[in-house]
């Protein structure tokens, strides 16, 4: 199978974990057109206020959406892993309000809005599956709000690692054997609303408590129960079970 198709299969898997789609609908997803693009680390591939006519599917690497204050402090709003359609919402909101940036070297696939609209018109259930897909991102955002608003640094970091571990599973990584998380401590600080210095210290705590082991891009969770407890991590917000979005469902 071609590289493009592999990307679409990851995306289809993502959709299928949350929405039931018929064979015809699945084929329509896999037949989506698009061109592949490579993006260097720390490069915006969608700029602020830009009008876009395509959505970006992450094939490889790590991307994030940013907001920032006047003084230049950044906050990472959401993280995109391979298989995530980073800005599927751009189909209905083509003027993007927030930039998208590659945190590490990343490959993306640009899917024209026209094709996405055509497929949602032909299959209303796909339209609702896209909508539902965005709900998951919103749910992740809600957890992030809870973290930033009410959790201490250690719990925030633990929660982040738990979430990335689960989200990495479809990519062939498991929690125990470790996963790739190619973000710098600077990036993590921007995700958690902390300073890089404090991220470093907090990370040390987790290491010294034998909860996680970090070696460059590779993260391994040594004590999942303890880490999940510290984070108060409950994965149900990620694993919405498949729902039948076809009209006249039972």
Partner DNA sequence: CGCGCGTTTGATCGCACTCAACCCGCGTGG
Partner DNA sequence: CCACGCGGGTTGAGTGCGATCAAACGCGCG
Interface residue list for DNA (CB under 7 A): 41-42, 152-154, 184-186, 193-198, 200-204
- Least Å distance, CB 67 to a second copy, is 4
- Cα Rg for the chain, rounded, in angstroms? 18
What letter would DSSP give residue 144?
Answer: H
Contacted by 99, from a second copy, DNA, none: CB < 5 to 8 Å by type: none
3-state secondary structure of 36: strand
Cβ count within 10 A of residue 221: 24
CB 21 within 8 A of CB 1: no
Question: Does residue 20 touch a second copy according to CB under 8 A?
Answer: no
Contacted by 154, from a second copy, DNA, none: CB < 5 to 8 Å by type: DNA
The alpha helices in the chain, defined as continuous H runs, are 3-16, 23-30, 113-122, 124-150, 153-168, 185-192, 196-208, 224-231
Contacted by 201, from DNA, a second copy, none: CB < 5 to 8 Å by type: DNA
Contact positions toward a second copy, by CB under 8 A? 19, 65, 67-70, 73-75, 77, 89, 91-95, 97-98, 117-118, 120-121, 124, 127-132, 134-135, 137-139, 141-146, 148-151, 190, 192-193, 232, 236-237, 240-241, 243, 245, 247
């Amino acid at each position: 199978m071609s590289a493009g198709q592999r990307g679409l299969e990851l995306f289809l898997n993502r959709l299928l974990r949350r929405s039931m789609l018929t064979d015809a609908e699945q084929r329509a997803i896999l037949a989506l057109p698009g061109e592949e693009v490579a993006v260097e680390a720390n490069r915006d591939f969608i700029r602020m206020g830009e009008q876009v006519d395509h959505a970006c599917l992450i094939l490889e690497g790590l991307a994030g959406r940013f907001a920032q204050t006047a003084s230049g402090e950044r906050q990472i709003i959401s993280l995109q892993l391979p298989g995530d359609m980073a800005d599927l919402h751009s189909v209905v909101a083509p003027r993007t309000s927030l930039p998208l940036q590659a945190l590490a070297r990343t490959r993306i696939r640009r899917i024209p809005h026209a094709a996405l609209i055509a497929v949602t018109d032909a299959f209303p259930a796909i339209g609702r599956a896209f909508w539902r897909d965005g709900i998951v991102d919103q749910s992740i955002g809600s957890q992030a709000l809870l973290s930033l608003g009410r959790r201490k640094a250690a719990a925030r970091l633990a929660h982040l690692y738990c979430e990335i571990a689960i989200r990495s599973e479809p990519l062939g990584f498991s929690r125990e054997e470790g996963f790739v998380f190619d973000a710098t401590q600077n990036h993590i600080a921007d995700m958690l609303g902390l300073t890089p210095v404090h991220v470093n210290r907090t990370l040390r705590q987790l290491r010294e408590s034998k909860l996680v082991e970090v070696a460059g891009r590779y993260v391994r969770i040594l004590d999942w129960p303890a880490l999940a407890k510290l984070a108060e991590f409950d994965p149900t917000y990620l694993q919405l079970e498949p729902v039948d979005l076809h009209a006249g469902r039972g």
